[in-house]
Structure 1
């Protein structure tokens, strides 16, 4: 009796295992979680085909194709304002030019530089310094003529009275040659520039426009505003 009941139990268990085996889902069926998923899914990069990667939108472009921000190259492509160069002045000396330069603070100029310009003399004169009196001056003039120096006259007034003028020349070289000739003949004379000589001072500036330069001229008190080559700035 016990053996018969055990055989029946084993048969029932076998029938149950066989029924489960036949009713189980196939191995290639889609998982339930995948069937229930909705919307976009996440994949590993190696799971995405190469062709789909190349078609993906750039991170700098929005989903509707509108650009998100300008690139660095587009920002750098903006052309700078054209710079023009001018000279302001002339100023009588460096002190006056420095005061004008201080007045230009905050004027919008890109660059301000001080430049000194030498002024050539109008000519050169050769003369002997004043002698003791008129008689001494006349005696010296006679000696000069005997030595072959005819271009002379005795000065009769002013600070150089009783001196002897020995010629006027257009450049320093000719005046120095005259002095050397007199020295070789035994006469001492000096060469001096005629005219103001000296120097003038300019402010060389760089501006973005003529209007900025004109305003700078008024602020500095300069009489002249003239264009200047920026390469010489």
Structure 2
């Protein structure tokens, strides 16, 4: 009987302790996890996730590479263009060309026709036909004017030739002598076409190209168009 009563008391005691543990813990004040004045720590996983702000598409400045500086080509040397001549013969021209050949020298040969004075002709113009020309010749003989010739051809047939002179002073003297005898003598310069041979050069202006020291000074020079 006593054991049964003790058993019931133990069961009642267990029920009372269980009820106290289940109901009495909510009223017990909980101890703070941190000291006063210290911010409470939160795990990273407990932090609220804020929505990501849309990325702003700000213009990105792209630095452009500096343009390579344009290289300035060296200034071309100024060219000097000369015409050297005239040479008397084609062989003289070839010799000069050989003597002047060298680096930086451009050359060309050319031939031109020119009128060259062959002398000064003293004459009496044709008085008419052949008969009049012969009569004038007899008058010259009577006036002791010698050294004459009646032209039978050429550009002035039947004219009376009184001489061809290389020196114009001698031609004027002859004219004056015939004029003193009473005849109207005249002087005409006689020319003929002859070939001239030239050598054109193109050289750098600052090259101090001395062509005279190579071929001599028997020919001249003048500026000409470059080629």
TM bucket normalised to smaller: 0.3 to 0.5
Bigger Rg over Cα: 2
- Structure with the bigger percentage of strand: 2
- Structure with the bigger percentage of helix: 1
TM-score (norm 1): 0.42
TM-score (norm 2): 0.42
